[in-house]
Amino acid sequence: MTAHSTSASAISPGALLASAAMAAKHTTQDPTDEELMRRYVEGDAAAFRSLFERYGPILLRLTRRHLRDEELAREIVQQTFFQLHRARNDFRQDSRLRPWVLTIAMNLVREHWRRQKRRKMSELDETRHAAPEPLRSPMEANQRVQQLREAMSKLPESQRVVVELHWFQERPFAEVAKLVGSTEGAVRVRAHRAYKKLEEWLGAEIRP
Amino acid sequence: MSARDQNAALDGPDRDDIDPDVAEFLRECDQASGDVSADDLQSLLSSMESQLTQSESGTGGWLKSRSTGTRRALSFGSFLALAGLALLRMRGRGVADLPAWAVGVCLGSLGVLIALSLWTALRPLQAPALSHGKVGALALLSVGCAVIVAFVPGLAQTSAAGAAHAAAPCMYAGLLFGLPVYALARVLDRGPRLSSILAASAAGLTGNFILALDCPNHGREHMLVGHASVVLIFLLGVFAVHAVESRLRRRG
C-alpha cells in the first residue's frame, strides 16, 4: 500500500454504498476496471478500494448464492481479493479483469465444495445444521430462494459453475468456456442439462 | 435424450429459452442475494487492508506475489542449480559408461516431467482450477516414469541377488536433493493444497534425476528401491500430511 492512499476510515459508509450501487454500471467517465487494476499494480492503493467497491457486492452475492453461510461467503470474498492482490503482477495490459476476478472466486468456491464433500463422507451433513440463514427477505420469498439453492446444490459442480457464470454473471458461452477451461460446445451442453434439471426439480414447486 | 433435446443441448440455451418459471426462480434468487450493506463492505475492506499489508512483509509473501513466469523460472532454476551442483561434484559418474540414447531418454523424460509438474503446480490463480484427475494422472506418471527407467535396457542391468543392499544411502540422498525443490515450490505456490502433490512429484523426480546422474550402480533392484522409491516417499508423505490436516480440521 502506498503512503498517498486515503485511509479506509476516511470513506463514509454512505459513499461506499453509493459506489457499490454503481458497481455494474459505472459511467464512461469512470476509469475502467482494467485501468484501476493497472493503477493498483503501480502502487495506487486507492485504486484497490475502487475495485473493491465495484466487485465486493458482485462477489458477495455470488458467494451467498453458492454457500449457505454468511460468514463463509464473506471470508471467500476476502480471500478472492487477497488472491487478486497476490496475483496482481500477473495482470497484463490486454487482459480483462472481470473474468479474472470471477475465476478466482469460483475456484475458491469450488475448493470449498470439495472440502465439504470430503467432510460429508465422514460426518453426515453437519453443515446443514450449522448453516445460519443469511437472508432477511419475507418468508415465502425466502422459501423459494432456499428451494433454488437446494436444487443448485444438487447440480454437479461443473454444471453449477456454468449456471452461475451464464445466468447470474451474464457471461456469454465463449467466455464461460474460457473461465472454466473447457470448450464452448461442452459448456453449452452443460448449461442445457443444468437448466433442464432445474426445470425438472423445481417443476413440482412451480406447477403443483 | 430426444433428437430435439440433443440439438438444443449442442446450441446451448439462450436466456430467453429457459423455462419462464425457472427464470423467475433464478431472478428471485439473484435479488435475494443482492442485499449488500455499506457496513458489510466497509468491515470487509477494513479487516482486509491490514492483512494485505502484512502478507508481503516476509520473504515468503514477497516470493508468492512475483509474477507466475518468475515463480516458475525460480522453481525450475532450483532444480537446474541442484542438478548442476551434483554434476560438478560427481562429474556425472552415473552416466559416464552408458549409451547416449539411454541417458537422453532417462534424463529427458525425468526433466520434462519435472518441468511439467512445476509448471502445473505454480499456475496463475486466474486459470481454471486444477482437477483431481489431472493431478492424479501426473503423480502416477511420475511414479511410473521413475519405475520404467529401472527397466530401460542399456540403462539398468539385472543384478545379482542382494544388489539392493546399497539402496538406503541413495534413497536418503534423493530425498535430501528433492527437499529444496519441494520447499521452494511450496513457498512460491499461492493456490490450493492440491498443488503440493505436484510439488512432491517434482521433488521426487529431482532426487531421481540427480541419482541417475551420479549413482554408478545400475542394478535394477537398486534403482527400484534406492531411486524410484524417492518419488513414492515424497508423494506418500504429502498424502499423509493431507490426511492429518483433514482430520485436525474436522476435529477443530
pLDDT, tens digit, for every residue of A106-118?
888 888 877 776 6
**According to the model, what pLDDT value does residue A6 have?**
37
Chain A partners within 8 Å of B49 (Cβ): 1, 8
C-alpha–C-alpha distance, residues B149 and B103, integer Å: 10
Residues of chain B by 3-state class (helix, strand, coil), percent to 5? 75, 0, 25
Q: What is the pLDDT of residue B80?
A: 95
Q: From CA A67, how far away is CA B247, in angstroms rounded?
A: 22
With a cut of 50, which residues of chain B have pLDDT below it?
A: 3-4
Q: Is B219 helix (H, G, I), strand (E, B) or coil?
A: strand
For residue A198, what pLDDT band results from cuts at 50, 70 and 90? Answer: confident
Contact yes or no for B34 and A82 at CB 8 A: no
Which chain B residue's Cα is nearest to A55? B41
Of A56, A61, A202, the CB nearest to B34: A61
**What is the tens place of the pLDDT at every residue in A126-166?**
444 444 444 444 566 677 777 777 788 888 888 888 888 88
Residue A186 CA to residue B1 CA, distance in Å, equals: 16
User: In this predicted structure, what is the pLDDT of residue A71?
Assistant: 84
Which of A174, A169, A158, A163 has its CA nearest to residue A199? A163
Q: What are the strands, taking DSSP E only, across B101-141?
A: none
Mean pLDDT of A19-36: 65
Task: For residue B165, give the DSSP letter.
Answer: G
Question: What pTM, to 2 d.p., does this model score?
Answer: 0.73
Of residues A103, A80, A85, the one with CA closest to residue B64: A85
* Positive or negative: CA dihedral A25, A31, A33, A34: positive
Contact criterion met (CB below 8 Å) for A41 and A88: yes
Identify the band that residue A121 occupies on the pLDDT scale cut at 50, 70 and 90: low
C-alpha cell at B249: 480440521
Nearest-Cα residue of chain B relative to residue A170: B15
Tens-place pLDDT, residues B129-176? 888 899 999 999 999 999 998 887 766 666 555 556 688 899 999 999
